[in-house]
Structure 1
């Protein structure tokens, strides 16, 4: 009898246009494929049955989440090697046609894998309802991702709880004499950091507590950069849209004495930020609101600065012009806007089936130039765009390493299936930024006065000059 791995290998040839760029190990212990290729473990007949019922990338993802399919060893490395092999060969496996499905069914019959459709993996799926990007649906989409639990994100993120791309002004692991503090490195020129590169797995997860430059320092340097670009000063009014767990709001109030209105759609985040505000004695400077951006009164314009750190991805294409107009209305003349936002090509604006189903639905990204057009169309003047794509590779690598190192703790919080969801999410995201399929940018804009005065100094170095109490 032909070994299971050989049968599966022949089946996959129809999808890849040749020998698959992986080594297969089947549930009977048999193996086939290149000896030096990543090892894909098909652990049960159920994996094959699942792919028959759902022959797509989402089907593969669900087989992985359920533990029926695995990649042996380092997951990001394995996914990256498969992707590189496919690119080098010019292969692009797509959705199988009738011939491939018939062959798969015949193989499954011989292997005893036919049967009813397997149940989804034991982890919560997103189930958005109602009109896309309505207030209620937006709230549900945000809740699905960000209300996983504050304990989960506290375990994953740096102490500031920044859940966005860091700004790596030094190479990971660079020795440091002083411990991490809120103001360490505050005097550094934000535009002269070292090239962050694209290497994952290079020590980016250092906690920075006197051991070397790591995630905590990179997030602090990002917060410092944002505050400087916004020209925050004592008493300045900052609106932080999509405030997350309050990293920017607290930093702006603590370090620059800005008066901050922090807005989120997540009840868990609102409660978390409110508790941190009270704990740090910043109640006179920070107000936290549970609100949709559309509910912010446009006639409350007069904010000196508005920030939206990786929040614009949740707005949607159809609603983005109104969103940009709302940003313009909320700013006083000569007020500044700082957007940090992910981008994708026009042909792939969403997160994909796996992201939409298990991470966060209804995301929409676009080329950065299109976002600039939309902001300018609302009357804002874009003054600079800073690409940070490589910084996100390092940031996600740090999160992934934390997930791996503390896997039992994460499994205790949400179960092993949730850990596998996040392993796949972070590994795939890291590759997307490394391979330039996704980008992230900081866009600095200003609302000019009617006569055209922007209020900005003549050179970027002076734009970012810190004004501290």
Structure 2
């Protein structure tokens, strides 16, 4: 790759020098700055720095969070397709083995000097309005409610625009590659698969912890005639599920409760499901969470956990995700979750990876976001829409490149004598999912 230098030393070249010091290697992208100068490989993605404010953010908040702040405010953009740009940047970083070195005082002084020459020195800028602002000790009930509200109470109207008619906000199950097999079909296949794994029958008592907008609760009540307790911390979600219960005439089968999982009383449920809720529990709190799952399900009852996983180096998903999407979240390697479930007294009988299913699920959401961009901007504002564009693009690539995973983990509370009554060859779980 050939680097093209401008005739004069402009902002682009000055910034590139700083970036190469911070990266510890060659700049894998081309920079275009507010003064019209460019620097970097001519065949790489183009990062457009529209304002000195972006540099000011990075001086005070170097790394991923500062870049995310500059992106969501429009101070920085990627020319062309955002996914292609991020993919190229990460590919170049892996190829060249770029690892940010420890910056010395001299490095920091030179960065400050460059910023001063570019007119970007000043007090820290306020974080964008879309960034979470949580208070209190980690994973107290009050803070957890605020964290959940930040993401899930954005507005039901927004999620209706983004999601399909099932209102399922979790990984679908793409049981067919046919062009006519839609995102809604994949979600229904996922809901059916969960109900089969949980062995639901008419009258089964199902506890749905973190029920979202009620896709599983409503499906289990309608198709399997189960008696469901749907639990969520998000008030907007609870209101939506209650409305759907009334519209579908399911008042005698679905009870919607807006509460913390730690406040769930009783027990003896035939089945417990928690679909992509465990990421919000917290690392230190997860053993107590698995103990709660064991307490709530009856002997021979089944527990299904669908949950995202990540390596130990980035358990929270990164600075952007933690600040804008899922504050205080924690993801662990799959094996650690299995160990914690078994330590609680549950026997894990089936683990199924859905990682590549999530690539397709997120792609469907992203297509909808772009197709309905003007309407979504009108509803939530451009800054929040850009947060979601970055979130869905980055998340899809994380699953594509195996930096994140998602799995369905089925476990059972064995009887005192050891029986589990889980079928040895559960082929019926998958039969006809593509025909729903």
Length-normalised TM-score, structure 1: 0.88
2:212 to 240, 244, 262: 244
Length-normalised TM-score, structure 2: 0.94
Distance, in Å, in 2 between the alignment partners of 1:95 and 1:276 is 54
Does structure 2 retain, via aligned residues, the 8 Å contact 1:231–1:465? no
Give the superposition deviation at 1:169: 1.2
Q: 1:249 to 1:94 in 2, by over 3 A?
A: farther
Distance, in Å, in 2 between the alignment partners of 1:396 and 1:76 is 12
Count of residue pairs brought into register by the alignment? 425
2:381 is equivalent to residue 375 of structure 1: no
Give the superposition deviation at 1:15: 1.9
Give the superposition deviation at 1:348: 2.0
2:245 to 277, 280, 296: 277
- Give the unaligned 5+ runs of structure 2: 1-7
Give the superposition deviation at 1:101: 2.1
Alignment of 1:92-131 (within 5 A): 92-93=99-100, 96-121=103-128, 123-131=129-137
2:23 to 16, 40, 50: 16
2:230 is equivalent to residue 262 of structure 1: yes
Give the superposition deviation at 1:118: 2.1
Tell me, what secondary structure is at the counterpart of 1:125?
coil
1:2 counterpart residue number: 9
2:38 to 31, 34, 37: 31
Q: 1:408 to 1:254 in 2, by over 3 A?
A: same
2:299 counterpart residue number: 333
Distance, in Å, in 2 between the alignment partners of 1:6 and 1:27 is 12
Give the superposition deviation at 1:10: 2.2
2:415 is equivalent to residue 449 of structure 1: yes
Give the superposition deviation at 1:94: 5.5
Tell me, what secondary structure is at the counterpart of 1:116?
coil
Distance, in Å, in 1 between the alignment partners of 2:102 and 2:157 is 38
Does structure 2 retain, via aligned residues, the 8 Å contact 1:231–1:463? no
Give the superposition deviation at 1:96: 4.0
1:48 to 28, 37, 55: 55
Does structure 1 retain, via aligned residues, the 8 Å contact 2:303–2:410? yes
Q: 1:18 to 1:344 in 2, by over 3 A?
A: closer
Task: Provide, for residues 272-324 of structure 1, a one-character-per-residue CA deviation record: whole Å limited to 9, x for no partner.
Answer: 10001111111111110111111111xx2221111000011111121111111
Does structure 2 retain, via aligned residues, the 8 Å contact 1:381–1:446? yes
Task: Provide, for residues 410-433 of structure 1, a one-character-per-residue CA deviation record: whole Å limited to 9, x for no partner.
Answer: 111111111111111111111111
2:313 is equivalent to residue 347 of structure 1: yes
2:47 is equivalent to residue 79 of structure 1: no
Task: Provide, for residues 67-123 of structure 1, a one-character-per-residue CA deviation record: whole Å limited to 9, x for no partner.
Answer: 1111111111110110001100111235644233222222222222222322222x2
Alignment of 1:125-144 (within 5 A): 125-144=131-150
1:315 counterpart residue number: 281
- Give the unaligned 5+ runs of structure 1: 176-211
